Amino acid sequence: MEMIAKTDCSWSHNTDTAALHSIVQYTELAGMTLVEVMGYTAHAFRIIIDPEAVEVGSYSHFDWKLNHEEALNNLGFSVQYAGKQTNIPPTPEELEEGIQLVQQAIDRGIPALSWDLFIPEWGVIYGYDDNRRVFQCRDVRQDAELPYEKLGRGEVTELYVLGISGYQPVSRRAMLRGALELALRHAEEILPGLEKSKHRNGIAAYDAWIKAFTNRTVEAFGNSVNTVKVWDAREFAVKFLEDVVANWPNEKDRDSSQLRQLASEAAAHYRIVADRLGALVSLFPFPQGGEPNQEAVASRSIELLQDAKAAEVQGVRVLEQMLESLD
Protein backbone atom coordinates (compact mmCIF):
# COMPACT_ATOMS: atom_id res chain seq x y z
CA MET A 1 0.00 0.00 0.00
CA GLU A 2 1.51 3.29 -1.11
CA MET A 3 1.38 5.88 1.65
CA ILE A 4 2.20 9.54 1.80
CA ALA A 5 2.89 11.64 4.87
CA LYS A 6 2.77 15.38 5.36
CA THR A 7 6.24 16.74 6.04
CA ASP A 8 5.60 20.49 5.62
CA CYS A 9 3.23 21.82 8.27
CA SER A 10 3.56 25.45 7.24
CA TRP A 11 0.54 25.25 4.93
CA SER A 12 -2.73 23.33 4.69
CA HIS A 13 -5.23 22.22 2.06
CA ASN A 14 -7.91 23.39 4.52
CA THR A 15 -7.87 26.99 3.42
CA ASP A 16 -10.15 28.49 6.06
CA THR A 17 -7.87 27.28 8.85
CA ALA A 18 -4.76 28.31 6.93
CA ALA A 19 -6.29 31.77 6.51
CA LEU A 20 -7.22 31.93 10.20
CA HIS A 21 -3.62 31.05 11.06
CA SER A 22 -2.42 33.96 8.91
CA ILE A 23 -4.85 36.30 10.66
CA VAL A 24 -3.81 35.12 14.13
CA GLN A 25 -0.22 36.19 13.39
CA TYR A 26 -1.39 39.83 13.63
CA THR A 27 -2.91 39.35 17.10
CA GLU A 28 -1.81 38.69 20.67
CA LEU A 29 -1.26 35.05 19.62
CA ALA A 30 1.35 35.87 16.98
CA GLY A 31 3.71 32.92 16.79
CA MET A 32 1.02 30.28 17.22
CA THR A 33 1.86 27.55 14.71
CA LEU A 34 -0.48 26.20 12.06
CA VAL A 35 -0.40 22.85 13.90
CA GLU A 36 -1.66 24.60 17.03
CA VAL A 37 -4.35 26.52 15.16
CA MET A 38 -5.54 23.34 13.40
CA GLY A 39 -5.66 21.54 16.74
CA TYR A 40 -7.07 24.17 19.06
CA THR A 41 -9.84 25.07 16.59
CA ALA A 42 -10.59 21.30 16.26
CA HIS A 43 -10.41 21.70 12.48
CA ALA A 44 -7.82 18.90 12.47
CA PHE A 45 -10.66 16.54 13.39
CA ARG A 46 -13.17 17.76 10.78
CA ILE A 47 -14.77 15.55 8.11
CA ILE A 48 -18.00 16.15 6.16
CA ILE A 49 -19.07 13.86 3.29
CA ASP A 50 -22.24 13.33 1.26
CA PRO A 51 -23.24 9.71 0.47
CA GLU A 52 -24.21 10.23 -3.15
CA ALA A 53 -21.22 11.66 -5.00
CA VAL A 54 -18.71 12.95 -2.42
CA GLU A 55 -19.40 16.27 -4.10
CA VAL A 56 -16.78 18.98 -4.18
CA GLY A 57 -18.54 21.25 -1.69
CA SER A 58 -18.82 18.65 1.06
CA TYR A 59 -15.78 19.96 2.93
CA SER A 60 -17.39 23.40 3.31
CA HIS A 61 -20.91 22.14 4.03
CA PHE A 62 -21.19 23.57 7.54
CA ASP A 63 -22.47 26.71 9.24
CA TRP A 64 -19.51 28.98 8.52
CA LYS A 65 -20.37 31.70 11.01
CA LEU A 66 -21.04 29.27 13.86
CA ASN A 67 -17.98 27.12 13.14
CA HIS A 68 -15.51 29.97 12.73
CA GLU A 69 -16.89 31.86 15.71
CA GLU A 70 -16.63 28.79 17.97
CA ALA A 71 -13.13 28.07 16.67
CA LEU A 72 -11.88 31.61 17.27
CA ASN A 73 -13.73 31.94 20.59
CA ASN A 74 -11.76 28.90 21.75
CA LEU A 75 -8.54 30.83 21.07
CA GLY A 76 -9.87 33.81 23.01
CA PHE A 77 -11.12 35.98 20.15
CA SER A 78 -14.46 37.68 19.64
CA VAL A 79 -15.55 38.16 16.04
CA GLN A 80 -17.92 40.03 13.78
CA TYR A 81 -19.03 39.00 10.33
CA ALA A 82 -21.13 40.06 7.38
CA GLY A 83 -22.84 38.19 4.59
CA LYS A 84 -25.12 35.23 4.15
CA GLN A 85 -24.27 31.63 3.30
CA THR A 86 -26.37 31.61 0.16
CA ASN A 87 -25.52 31.55 -3.52
CA ILE A 88 -27.06 34.98 -3.97
CA PRO A 89 -25.00 38.08 -4.79
CA PRO A 90 -25.01 40.68 -2.02
CA THR A 91 -27.34 43.65 -2.26
CA PRO A 92 -25.68 47.10 -2.39
CA GLU A 93 -26.46 47.48 1.32
CA GLU A 94 -24.97 44.08 2.17
CA LEU A 95 -21.90 44.85 0.09
CA GLU A 96 -21.38 48.14 1.92
CA GLU A 97 -21.71 46.36 5.28
CA GLY A 98 -19.07 43.85 4.19
CA ILE A 99 -16.72 46.60 2.98
CA GLN A 100 -17.03 48.47 6.28
CA LEU A 101 -16.40 45.33 8.33
CA VAL A 102 -13.24 44.55 6.37
CA GLN A 103 -11.99 48.12 6.69
CA GLN A 104 -12.63 48.14 10.44
CA ALA A 105 -10.68 44.90 10.88
CA ILE A 106 -7.75 46.16 8.84
CA ASP A 107 -7.80 49.48 10.69
CA ARG A 108 -7.29 47.44 13.88
CA GLY A 109 -4.23 45.93 12.22
CA ILE A 110 -5.73 42.49 11.60
CA PRO A 111 -6.61 41.01 8.16
CA ALA A 112 -10.14 39.75 7.54
CA LEU A 113 -11.24 36.28 6.47
CA SER A 114 -13.19 36.08 3.23
CA TRP A 115 -14.68 33.48 0.93
CA ASP A 116 -14.34 33.23 -2.87
CA LEU A 117 -11.92 36.07 -3.54
CA PHE A 118 -10.30 34.66 -6.68
CA ILE A 119 -11.45 31.02 -6.33
CA PRO A 120 -14.14 29.28 -4.22
CA GLU A 121 -11.83 28.84 -1.23
CA TRP A 122 -11.04 30.98 1.82
CA GLY A 123 -8.46 33.73 1.82
CA VAL A 124 -7.53 36.96 3.59
CA ILE A 125 -8.06 40.64 2.86
CA TYR A 126 -5.15 42.57 4.34
CA GLY A 127 -5.28 46.05 2.83
CA TYR A 128 -7.48 48.57 1.08
CA ASP A 129 -7.32 51.78 -0.94
CA ASP A 130 -10.52 53.76 -0.42
CA ASN A 131 -9.68 56.25 -3.17
CA ARG A 132 -9.30 53.52 -5.80
CA ARG A 133 -11.91 51.30 -4.07
CA VAL A 134 -9.78 48.16 -4.12
CA PHE A 135 -8.81 45.56 -1.53
CA GLN A 136 -5.46 43.79 -1.33
CA CYS A 137 -6.23 40.08 -1.04
CA ARG A 138 -4.52 36.70 -0.96
CA ASP A 139 -5.83 33.19 -1.45
CA VAL A 140 -4.43 29.94 -2.84
CA ARG A 141 -4.70 31.25 -6.39
CA GLN A 142 -3.09 34.67 -6.19
CA ASP A 143 -2.14 37.75 -4.21
CA ALA A 144 -3.73 40.71 -5.98
CA GLU A 145 -6.14 43.62 -5.88
CA LEU A 146 -9.88 43.07 -5.83
CA PRO A 147 -12.34 45.88 -6.61
CA TYR A 148 -14.79 46.56 -3.79
CA GLU A 149 -17.66 45.71 -6.13
CA LYS A 150 -16.30 42.18 -6.66
CA LEU A 151 -16.52 41.29 -2.97
CA GLY A 152 -19.06 38.47 -2.68
CA ARG A 153 -19.46 38.43 -6.45
CA GLY A 154 -16.84 35.89 -7.44
CA GLU A 155 -17.32 32.47 -8.98
CA VAL A 156 -20.11 31.47 -6.59
CA THR A 157 -21.55 34.93 -5.76
CA GLU A 158 -21.55 34.55 -1.98
CA LEU A 159 -20.54 37.28 0.47
CA TYR A 160 -18.80 36.11 3.63
CA VAL A 161 -16.31 38.18 5.59
CA LEU A 162 -15.18 37.84 9.19
CA GLY A 163 -13.04 40.06 11.36
CA ILE A 164 -11.55 39.72 14.83
CA SER A 165 -12.98 42.36 17.14
CA GLY A 166 -11.43 41.58 20.53
CA TYR A 167 -9.32 39.23 22.63
CA GLN A 168 -9.44 37.78 26.14
CA PRO A 169 -6.56 35.48 27.14
CA VAL A 170 -7.41 31.78 27.43
CA SER A 171 -5.15 29.28 29.19
CA ARG A 172 -3.62 26.48 27.17
CA ARG A 173 -5.52 24.00 29.32
CA ALA A 174 -8.83 25.73 28.60
CA MET A 175 -8.02 25.81 24.89
CA LEU A 176 -7.32 22.08 24.88
CA ARG A 177 -10.52 21.35 26.79
CA GLY A 178 -12.52 23.45 24.36
CA ALA A 179 -10.85 21.84 21.33
CA LEU A 180 -11.61 18.35 22.62
CA GLU A 181 -15.22 19.31 23.26
CA LEU A 182 -15.55 20.66 19.72
CA ALA A 183 -13.83 17.60 18.22
CA LEU A 184 -16.02 15.15 20.13
CA ARG A 185 -19.21 16.98 19.26
CA HIS A 186 -18.17 16.94 15.58
CA ALA A 187 -17.38 13.22 15.75
CA GLU A 188 -20.53 12.12 17.54
CA GLU A 189 -23.35 14.58 16.81
CA ILE A 190 -24.98 15.87 13.64
CA LEU A 191 -23.75 19.39 12.95
CA PRO A 192 -26.28 22.21 13.27
CA GLY A 193 -27.90 22.69 9.87
CA LEU A 194 -27.22 19.15 8.66
CA GLU A 195 -30.28 17.58 10.29
CA LYS A 196 -32.17 17.65 6.99
CA SER A 197 -29.11 17.33 4.76
CA LYS A 198 -27.68 14.16 3.25
CA HIS A 199 -24.21 15.31 4.28
CA ARG A 200 -22.79 13.65 7.36
CA ASN A 201 -20.00 14.69 9.69
CA GLY A 202 -17.72 12.87 12.09
CA ILE A 203 -17.80 9.08 12.33
CA ALA A 204 -21.00 8.97 10.27
CA ALA A 205 -19.14 10.66 7.38
CA TYR A 206 -17.08 7.51 6.86
CA ASP A 207 -20.30 5.52 6.38
CA ALA A 208 -21.50 8.12 3.88
CA TRP A 209 -18.20 7.88 2.01
CA ILE A 210 -18.33 4.08 1.97
CA LYS A 211 -21.91 4.19 0.68
CA ALA A 212 -20.89 6.33 -2.30
CA PHE A 213 -18.13 3.87 -3.19
CA THR A 214 -20.45 0.90 -2.66
CA ASN A 215 -22.99 2.41 -5.07
CA ARG A 216 -20.20 3.38 -7.53
CA THR A 217 -21.55 6.93 -7.69
CA VAL A 218 -18.39 8.81 -6.65
CA GLU A 219 -17.59 12.01 -8.55
CA ALA A 220 -13.88 11.92 -9.36
CA PHE A 221 -12.96 15.59 -8.86
CA GLY A 222 -15.07 16.12 -5.75
CA ASN A 223 -13.72 12.95 -4.19
CA SER A 224 -10.12 14.02 -4.84
CA VAL A 225 -10.79 17.41 -3.21
CA ASN A 226 -12.39 15.93 -0.11
CA THR A 227 -9.80 13.15 0.17
CA VAL A 228 -6.85 15.51 0.22
CA LYS A 229 -8.54 17.89 2.68
CA VAL A 230 -9.54 15.19 5.18
CA TRP A 231 -6.12 13.52 4.89
CA ASP A 232 -4.45 16.89 5.47
CA ALA A 233 -6.61 17.51 8.54
CA ARG A 234 -5.75 14.14 10.09
CA GLU A 235 -2.04 14.67 9.48
CA PHE A 236 -2.39 17.86 11.52
CA ALA A 237 -4.34 15.93 14.18
CA VAL A 238 -1.37 13.59 14.56
CA LYS A 239 1.10 16.49 14.75
CA PHE A 240 -1.08 18.33 17.27
CA LEU A 241 -1.41 15.33 19.57
CA GLU A 242 2.31 14.61 19.29
CA ASP A 243 2.94 18.25 20.26
CA VAL A 244 0.85 17.73 23.41
CA VAL A 245 3.00 14.71 24.23
CA ALA A 246 6.27 16.57 23.68
CA ASN A 247 5.49 20.03 24.97
CA TRP A 248 2.63 19.97 27.48
CA PRO A 249 3.92 21.83 30.52
CA ASN A 250 4.19 20.35 33.99
CA GLU A 251 1.36 21.96 35.93
CA LYS A 252 1.40 22.87 39.58
CA ASP A 253 -0.74 20.52 41.69
CA ARG A 254 -1.57 18.42 38.60
CA ASP A 255 -0.15 15.22 37.18
CA SER A 256 0.25 15.83 33.45
CA SER A 257 1.71 12.41 32.72
CA GLN A 258 -1.72 10.83 32.17
CA LEU A 259 -2.66 13.52 29.65
CA ARG A 260 0.59 13.00 27.75
CA GLN A 261 0.10 9.22 27.72
CA LEU A 262 -3.45 9.54 26.40
CA ALA A 263 -2.34 12.03 23.75
CA SER A 264 0.30 9.51 22.65
CA GLU A 265 -2.36 6.78 22.36
CA ALA A 266 -4.67 9.10 20.40
CA ALA A 267 -1.83 10.09 18.07
CA ALA A 268 -1.18 6.41 17.29
CA HIS A 269 -4.82 5.88 16.30
CA TYR A 270 -4.93 9.02 14.17
CA ARG A 271 -1.63 7.99 12.54
CA ILE A 272 -3.50 4.96 11.19
CA VAL A 273 -6.34 7.21 10.00
CA ALA A 274 -3.91 9.54 8.23
CA ASP A 275 -2.02 6.64 6.64
CA ARG A 276 -5.21 5.09 5.23
CA LEU A 277 -6.37 8.44 3.92
CA GLY A 278 -2.91 9.03 2.49
CA ALA A 279 -3.30 5.80 0.52
CA LEU A 280 -6.58 7.20 -0.82
CA VAL A 281 -4.80 10.39 -1.87
CA SER A 282 -2.42 8.22 -3.89
CA LEU A 283 -5.40 6.52 -5.56
CA PHE A 284 -7.20 9.79 -6.22
CA PRO A 285 -4.61 12.51 -6.87
CA PHE A 286 -5.93 16.07 -6.92
CA PRO A 287 -7.17 17.36 -9.30
CA GLN A 288 -7.30 14.48 -11.78
CA GLY A 289 -9.25 12.26 -9.39
CA GLY A 290 -8.40 8.82 -10.72
CA GLU A 291 -11.08 6.16 -11.36
CA PRO A 292 -13.08 5.93 -8.12
CA ASN A 293 -15.88 3.79 -9.55
CA GLN A 294 -13.65 1.18 -11.16
CA GLU A 295 -14.43 -2.13 -9.43
CA ALA A 296 -11.05 -2.94 -7.88
CA VAL A 297 -10.36 0.68 -6.95
CA ALA A 298 -13.75 1.11 -5.26
CA SER A 299 -13.30 -2.14 -3.31
CA ARG A 300 -9.85 -1.07 -2.14
CA SER A 301 -11.18 2.35 -1.17
CA ILE A 302 -13.90 0.79 0.96
CA GLU A 303 -11.30 -1.30 2.79
CA LEU A 304 -9.17 1.78 3.46
CA LEU A 305 -12.16 3.78 4.70
CA GLN A 306 -13.28 0.95 6.97
CA ASP A 307 -9.79 0.84 8.49
CA ALA A 308 -9.75 4.63 8.86
CA LYS A 309 -13.17 4.63 10.51
CA ALA A 310 -12.20 1.90 12.97
CA ALA A 311 -9.03 3.77 13.94
CA GLU A 312 -10.91 7.06 14.28
CA VAL A 313 -13.50 5.41 16.55
CA GLN A 314 -10.63 4.33 18.79
CA GLY A 315 -9.08 7.76 18.57
CA VAL A 316 -12.34 9.44 19.60
CA ARG A 317 -12.57 7.18 22.64
CA VAL A 318 -9.12 8.32 23.73
CA LEU A 319 -10.04 11.98 23.12
CA GLU A 320 -12.94 11.42 25.52
CA GLN A 321 -10.47 10.13 28.10
CA MET A 322 -8.22 13.13 27.50
CA LEU A 323 -11.15 15.43 28.19
CA GLU A 324 -11.98 13.56 31.40
CA SER A 325 -8.35 13.86 32.53
CA LEU A 326 -8.59 17.65 32.23
CA ASP A 327 -11.48 17.87 34.71
275-284 pLDDT, tens digit per residue, is 999 999 999 9
Q: Where in the sequence of the chain do the CATH 3.90.70.10 domains occur?
A: 79-167
Q: Which CATH class is domain 79-167?
A: alpha beta
pLDDT of residue 7 exceeding 60 = yes
pLDDT of residue 3 exceeding 60 = no
Given a contact cutoff of 8 angstroms between Cβ atoms, the answer to whether 20 and 37 are in contact is yes
pLDDT band at 1 (very low <50, low <70, confident <90, very high): very low
Question: pTM, whole model, 2 decimals?
Answer: 0.95
3-state secondary structure 213-274: HHCCCCCHHHHHHHHHHHHHHHHHHHHHHHHHHHHCCCCCCCCCHHHHHHHHHHHHHHHHHH
pLDDT band at 249 (very low <50, low <70, confident <90, very high): confident
Contacts (Cβ under 8 Å, ≥6 apart) of 163 = 79, 80, 81, 101, 102, 104, 105, 108, 110, 112, 113
